[in-house]
């Protein structure tokens, strides 16, 4: 099996080490048909990319599309931040129209917008280890919020579901908008093997991505593939694998 597109890569605009151009060249060298830049949304205090800079990336992509015409498809995505426990993101729907696609996930380094978020994003969250019922509640909130995001926004995929806040992949796959995919992320370990086993028969699609923060990792999904194999997952459900 072969990866044909990597829809989740970062650049020097956030905390990545390589430029947009370097990621694109790496993807071409590795024989990918599609590469996307999906930077961190502006709500991240440390790594967020301002809307102005997102438009600069867009311009760079437009130039690269001219330069590498016919050689590779280059997409302008965004990995928005879930900002609260109601599935709200750090980008408006109007702003999102400037992008080729929108994805989102949980990240530290945001300032939550709602009371529940302020509690759950604080170090208090680590108290979940003290109580099974608290941990269950947190999984429930985090899962609900991801589900809500898929109905509030036109989302291509949910990034690394389970990272930062664990989620119930079974319920997520059952209740989310079926036009949104779940990501199998190489850098973070999510979906993990347990989650992959749970969603094996779900009526949704999946996407596998590197989440590369440097050029050499673009197109590298080896660890995610290992998890897929371990879970006995049907790879025909993964839209960007060819076999």
Q: Which is nearer to Zn ion, 68 or 182 (CB)?
A: 182
Which residues are paired to 158 by β-bridges? 104, 182
Q: Is 107 left (phi over 0), alpha (psi -120 to 50) or beta?
A: beta
Strand-pair category, 2-3 with 241-242 = antiparallel
Radius of gyration of the chain (CA): 17
Name the segment binding Zn ion (CB under 5 A); options: 28-36, 79-87, 111-119, 191-199.
79-87
The number of beta carbons lying within 10 Å of the beta carbon of residue 110 is 22
Q: How far is CA 188 from the centre of its chain?
A: 10
What's the min distance (Å) between Cβ of 82 and Zn ion? 10
- Distance between first and last Cα of the chain: 4
Q: Which residue is nearest to Zn ion (CB)?
A: 211
* Cβ(81)–Cβ(159) below 8 Å: no
Please confirm whether the linkage preceding 191 is cis (ω < 30° from 0). Answer: yes
Does 168 sit near Zn ion (CB under 5 A)? no
CB of 68 or CB of 100, closer to Zn ion: 100
Nearer to Zn ion, 71 or 105 (CB): 105
Per-residue string for binding with Zn ion, 100-139, x by CB under 5 A? Answer: -----x----------------------------------
Indicate whether 211 belongs to the interface with Zn ion (CB under 5 A).
yes
Contact stretch for Zn ion (CB under 5 A) within 20-28, 83-91, 99-107, 108-116: 99-107
By C-beta, is 10 or 128 nearer to Zn ion?
10
Number of chain residues interacting with Zn ion (CB under 5 A): 4
Site residues, Zn ion (CB under 5 A): 79, 105, 159, 211
């Amino acid at each position: 099996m072969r990866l044909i597109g990597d829809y989740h890569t970062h650049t020097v605009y956030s905390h990545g080490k390589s430029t947009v151009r370097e990621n694109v060249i790496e993807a071409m060298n590795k024989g990918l048909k599609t590469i996307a830049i999906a930077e961190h949304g502006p709500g991240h205090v440390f790594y967020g990319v301002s809307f102005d800079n997102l438009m600069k990336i867009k311009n760079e992509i437009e130039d690269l599309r001219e330069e590498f015409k016919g050689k590779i498809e280059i997409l302008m995505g965004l990995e928005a931040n879930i900002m609260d426990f109601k599935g709200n993101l750090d980008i408006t729907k109007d702003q999102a129209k400037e992008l080729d696609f929108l994805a989102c996930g949980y990240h530290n380094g945001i300032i939550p917008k709602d009371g529940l978020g302020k509690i759950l994003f604080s170090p208090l969250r680590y108290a979940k280890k003290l109580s099974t019922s608290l941990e269950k509640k947190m999984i429930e909130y985090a899962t609900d919020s991801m589900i809500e995001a898929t109905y509030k926004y036109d989302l291509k995929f949910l990034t690394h579901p389970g990272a930062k806040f664990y989620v119930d992949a079974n319920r997520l796959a059952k209740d989310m908008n079926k036009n949104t995919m779940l990501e199998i992320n190489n850098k973070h370990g999510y979906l993990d093997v347990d989650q992959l086993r749970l969603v094996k028969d779900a009526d949704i699609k999946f996407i596998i991505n590197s989440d590369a923060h440097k050029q050499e990792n673009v197109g590298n999904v080896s660890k995610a593939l290992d998890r897929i194999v371990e879970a006995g997952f049907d790879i025909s459900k993964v839209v960007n694998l060819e076999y």
